[in-house]
Amino acid sequence: MTTLGMKPVAAVTAGGERIGQAIVVALARAGYDVVLHYRTKRPTIETTAELARRAGAEVLLHQGDLSVRAQAEALRETVVRRFQRIDVLVANAGAFEGTPVDHFSDEIFQRMLQDNLFSALWVARSFGVWMRDQGSGSIVALADVAALRPWKGYLAYNIAKAGVVAMVRTLAKELAPAVRVNAVAPGPILFPPGFPVDQQQREIERTLLRRAGAPEHVAEAVLFLCRNDYVTGVVLPVDGGRLLAGDDGY
Ligand SMILES: NC(=O)c1ccc[n+]([C@@H]2O[C@H](COP(=O)([O-])OP(=O)(O)OC[C@H]3O[C@@H](n4cnc5c(N)ncnc54)[C@H](OP(=O)(O)O)[C@@H]3O)[C@@H](O)[C@H]2O)c1
């Protein structure tokens, strides 16, 4: 709920590129002002900011490593200082790297937990408590179908994304009725740079729809969860049927 005449305000973590960029543009087109967070990639964030401004949004940039709790809280303080309100948080930041069970370093394992779980947890907690005190708000976190159906070879990532789902469901209980908390669980949307083409093809063939999704499919789902105020605590797969299909794709 916004005060008459005021635009709603959304913060998107890692909003500069790929899926984050599509979410920012969709929110801007839907009438939100946007706080655009980034960690390192300043040039891409400028491009996204320009796209959002052209869609009519006021845009504020904020840099930080969100696996550090104080930096996640600093993002929330930036939003409040400028807008005095927060309507939507999209916890989009994440990282994707394999950790096969026979050989992975502590460093990679911890990084997967930091970048996927803690970067969502600290912002969701900080924004969520503030939204609860404000009396309203919506949080959407980016999970992965791997949270529900784990990828072989990705122990740390799977644990982290399952943690995101547990976080979403717990916060939905803790912060209700003022704040709704949901997740989107994408399937194959955009492969990481350098992901082998034959493996990409195999993942696509394991969806029922036999095609990769687009970032805009994820952005649509985020908008739906922001708009529909009778939905909380759900995990919405946007996966072309990957969850339902067996490993042979049927
Ligand atoms: N792409 C897919 O098909 C797919 C499928 C399933 C789930 N997802 C999930 O959807 C979300 C977006 O996916 P994507 O592929 O567009 O992401 P991506 O290209 O992997 O980008 C992730 C972004 O998160 C940022 N980030 C990572 N750790 C961070 C931290 N500790 N603090 C702040 N920022 C951090 C990175 O910033 P820097 O680069 O500056 O470090 C990067 O900009 C992710 O949560 C991902 O797990 C994506």
Number of structural domains found in the chain: 1
pTM value is: 0.97
Q: Which atom of ligand 1 lies closest to the CA of 218?
A: 10
Query: Do the domain assignments include residue 207?
Result: yes
Distance CA 154, CA 150 (A): 8
Distance between Cα 92 and ligand 1 center (Å): 6
Going from the C-alpha of 223 to that of each of 52, 128, 146, 210, 220, the distances in angstroms are 15, 18, 22, 25, 5
Query: Do the domain assignments include residue 186?
Result: yes
Q: Is 157 a catalytic residue?
A: yes
Query: Do the domain assignments include residue 244?
Result: no
CATH label of the domain that carries residue 159: 3.40.50.720
Distance between Cα 240 and ligand 1 center (Å): 20
Output the tens digit of pLDDT for each of the chain's 250 residues: 556 668 999 999 999 999 999 999 999 999 999 999 999 988 889 999 999 999 999 999 999 999 999 999 999 999 999 999 999 999 999 999 999 999 889 999 999 999 999 999 999 999 999 999 999 999 999 999 999 999 999 999 999 999 999 999 999 999 999 999 999 999 999 999 999 999 999 999 999 999 999 999 999 999 999 999 999 999 999 999 999 998 877 7
Among residues 32, 38, 154, 157, the one annotated as catalytic is 157
- Other Cβ atoms less than 10 A from the Cβ of 104: the count is 17
Query: Do the domain assignments include residue 233?
Result: yes
Using CB distances shorter than 6 Å, the residues near ligand 1 are 14, 17-20, 39-41, 65-67, 92-96, 114-115, 119, 142, 144, 186, 188-190
Query: Do the domain assignments include residue 52?
Result: yes
Query: Do the domain assignments include residue 4?
Result: no
Q: Using an 8 Å Cβ cutoff, are 127 and 73 in contact?
A: no
Query: Do the domain assignments include residue 3?
Result: no
Distance between Cα 38 and ligand 1 center (Å): 10
Query: Do the domain assignments include residue 248?
Result: no
Q: Which atom of ligand 1 lies closest to the CA of 119?
A: 31
Domain that holds residue 160: 9-238
